[in-house]
Amino acid sequence: MAHDHGFHPVRVTRVIDETADARTYALDAPFSYRAGQFLTFKACGTLRSYSMSSSPDTDTELRTTVKRVPGGLVSNWMLDNLRPGDLVEVTRPAGAFCLRETAAPLVAFCGGSGITPIASLVKSALATTERRVRVLAADRDGDSVIFGDELADLAGRHPGRFEIERHLDAERGLVTGDRVRAFTGADQDADFYICGPAPFMDLVESTLLSLGVEEGRIFIERFAAADEAPAGPEKEGTVTISQGGKKKTVPQRAGETLLQSARRAGLVPPFSCEAGNCATCMAQVTEGEAKMRVNNALEDDEVAEGWVLTCQGEPTTEHVTVVYED
Ligand code: FES
């Protein structure tokens, strides 16, 4: 059985102004979640995912923090309209940007509102483990800093275990590879968490890899769909898609997702984020196998039953059949 990936109405109980363009929303949501996970909101005819800034281990409220972005349809609507008492539609918490069972230090790099899931992870790591935790938080300027007092207070309460270094672009310019190397220091065996604007995340990731940090120790939260490479030429094999009583078969193409194959077959399959976060595009593989590039939405037992995010799934066998639920 597929799990509940539907939308649920939840009430906003509190709105906290963090900065001139960032607000935290406390929600009366009866969900359990893990530090670092996100909710997907349905608003303005589209979907957007926002991370929890609260920790399930230290906070009684479930809170998510949203920053205004130029042209941001949902974030701007939330900041301009959402008030205590309002209902919003959200999915259950999802995401794999979570703590691992390890004693390794935790080193995080965040930019702007990327501090949201990092704050959640830091609070849980300090409350439930003995791990050392270090964060380099980059912001445009002092007025843009989110959770400044809360995290400084946490550092004061965990001397020797938690350190947060603030980097203000207005004073020091953008974070550079040298800055990432210097902050990493001798902690190359840490687990690294990265969240922020795409160029920032790319820079931190490539610098860590150049330092010899294992890929499996680097965790990155990306909500936007990665730029899609065009599909390659046709190759051996077929993809068969069943949707809404229609069944179509097309030849496989190198690098093409099942969602792209379904569109090429003339179907109109469901989708939203195209980043592996929302499960709107899920379908069940009933013949053959497919591998997902990113999966932030399906549970292990769903994957074991053959469910796949078609926006992320590529065939790994010669013939693949996927069936969308009606
Ligand atoms: S469209 Fe959101 S996971 Fe595929």
* ipTM passes above 0.95: yes
**What pLDDT, on the 0 to 100 scale, is given for residue 226?**
53
Instruction: Return d(Cα 31, Cα 201) in angstroms, integer.
Output: 29
**What pLDDT, on the 0 to 100 scale, is given for residue 111?**
96
pLDDT score of 227 more than 60: no
Each residue's pLDDT tens digit, 150-170: 999 999 999 999 999 999 999
Each residue's pLDDT tens digit, 85-141: 999 999 888 888 999 999 999 999 999 999 999 999 999 999 999 999 999 999 999
DSSP 214: -
Give the dihedral of Cα atoms 106, 109, 114, 119; nearest 10 deg: 30
Each residue's pLDDT tens digit, 162-207: 999 999 999 999 999 999 999 999 999 999 999 999 999 999 999 9
pLDDT score of 34 more than 80: yes
Ligand 1 atom, smallest distance to 270 CA: 1
169-185 b/e with 16+ CB inside 10 Å = b? eeeeeebeeebbeebbe
Give the angle 116-117-122 at the CA atoms, nearest 5°. 105
Picking from 9, 234, 221, 244, the residue whose alpha carbon sits closest to that of residue 115 is 221
* Over residues 76-80, mean pLDDT: 95
| Closest residue CA from atom 3 of ligand 1 | 276
Please state whether beta strands 133-139 and 106-111 pair in parallel, antiparallel, or not at all (unpaired).
Answer: parallel
pLDDT greater at residue 306 or residue 231:
306
Cα(122) to centroid(ligand 1), Å = 28
Q: How confident is the model at residue 228 (pLDDT cuts 50, 70, 90)?
A: low
Mean residue pLDDT of the chain comes to: 93
**What pLDDT, on the 0 to 100 scale, is given for residue 310?**
97
Cα(232) to centroid(ligand 1), Å = 22
Q: How confident is the model at residue 234 (pLDDT cuts 50, 70, 90)?
A: confident
- Please report, rounded to a whole number, the percentage of residues in the chain having pLDDT higher than 70: 97
Which residues have CB under 8 Å from 261's CB, separation 6+? 239, 241, 250, 252, 253
Instruction: Return d(Cα 4, Cα 297) in angstroms, integer.
Output: 11
Instruction: Return d(Cα 318, Cα 108) in angstroms, integer.
Output: 41
Helix or strand (DSSP H, E) at 87: strand 87-90
Instruction: Return d(Cα 223, Cα 276) in angstroms, integer.
Output: 9
* Most trustworthy range by pLDDT among 13-27, 66-80, 92-106: 13-27
Contact criterion met (CB below 8 Å) for 245 and 219: no
pLDDT score of 24 more than 80: yes
pLDDT score of 280 more than 80: yes
Three-state helix/strand/coil letters over 121-163: HHHHHHHHCCCCEEEEEEECCHHHCCCHHHHHHHHHHCCCCEE
| Residues whose beta carbon lies within 6 Å of some atom of ligand 1 | 271-274, 276-281, 297, 309, 311
Q: How confident is the model at residue 1 (pLDDT cuts 50, 70, 90)?
A: low
Q: Which two tokens stand for residue 283?
A: 């379908």
Ligand 1 atom, smallest distance to 279 CA: 3
Domains annotated for the chain, with CATH where assigned, are: 8-90 (2.40.30.10), 106-220 (3.40.50.80), 234-323 (3.10.20.30)
Ligand 1 atom, smallest distance to 272 CA: 1
